[in-house]
Every structure is written in structure tokens, then in C-alpha cells.
Amino acid sequence: MTLNVPRIPILQIENFLVASIQTELHDKTAIHFKDDLLQRIYDTKARGLVLDLTAIDVVDSFIARIIGDVAEMAGLMGALVVVTGLQPAVAITLVELGVEMRGVVTALNLEKGIVRLRKLVADDSDVTQPDVRLGETDPAHP
């Protein structure tokens, strides 16, 4: 008999993903979420991710590590990450456990996180736009 592991919905808005965790994260749910999210980033070529943790009141060391890993792995895949809705106890636990969230921006709530991510993605697009399209030669270097 296999147990049904609840899936966390991952929505696509424009060119980024929003994952709002509205249920208690158990180990198996967290692992499935990580795998699902990374696959969606790959499949959609998402430029950013809002990870909303508003409903999470408490995390253990495994869930804290998964949250940090998801943020880092999404960044490695080229997605800018905004984490929203951190409860004080969760923020304290993440710091006390040494979970590093390098390159991760935070916002108070989901709405502010989406606004922040739109700005980050727009700013990143300005910086990373190539001057020459693939297959074309740079006029300065024929």
C-alpha cells in the first residue's frame, strides 16, 4: 500500500513561479516539493521563484535544510529567489541551524514578494541581455 503524499501547488505567473506552502511540511512532502519545483524551473525556464512560507510556523533541521537547498538549487538553475512570509520562529531556526540562503531576497508577504521579484527579474534582464544574438558576429570584433 502506498501513501498519497500531498503535492504543493506551483503556479506560473509571467516568467516566474510561485510556490505557497499552505500545509505542514513532512519529510516526504518536502522531498517531493523540492523535486517538483526544480523540475518546473527547468521545464518552464523560470527566471524567478517566490517561495511563500507564511503558513509554516515551525521547522526541524531537515525541513530547514530542504528550504535552504531549494533556494540554493533554484539559484544555481538561474532563477532569482524571493522568500516571503517567514515567521519569527522559522527565521530564528534557520539562523541557529546555520542554513545559508546566499543570494536570496526576502519580503514580508506574498504580494510584496511578487513585486520585488518582478523588479529583480527586470533589473537582471537589463544586465544580462547579450549585445549580439547567437550566430551573429560582433561588429566590433569581425
- 128 has pLDDT over 90: no
Taking each helix axis as running N to C, give the angle between helix 61-76 and helix 27-44, from 0 to 180 degrees, rounded to the nearest 10: 10
Q: Of 72, 84, 116, 80, which Cα lies nearest the Cα of 20?
A: 84
More confident residue, 82 or 3: 82
Asked whether 116 and 105 are in contact (CB, 8 A), the reply is yes
Distance between CA atoms of residues 36 and 21, nearest Å: 13
pLDDT value for 132:
39
| Residue 1's pLDDT band (cuts 50, 70, 90) | very low
With 0.85 as the threshold, say if the pTM is over it: no
| Secondary structure class of 30 (helix, strand, coil) | helix
Every domain of the chain and the residues it spans: 10-122
Q: Order of strands across the sheet with 16-20?
A: 10-13, 16-20, 48-52, 80-84, 105-107
Nearest-5° Cα angle at 91, 88 to 94: 150
The per-residue pLDDT for range 13-71, each reduced to its tens digit, is 999 999 999 888 889 999 999 999 999 999 999 999 999 999 999 899 999 999 999 99
The superfamily in CATH containing domain 10-122 is STAS domain (3.30.750.24)
Average pLDDT over residues 66-92: 93
Asked whether 109 and 54 are in contact (CB, 8 A), the reply is yes
Distance between CA atoms of residues 21 and 65, nearest Å: 16
More confident residue, 7 or 17: 17
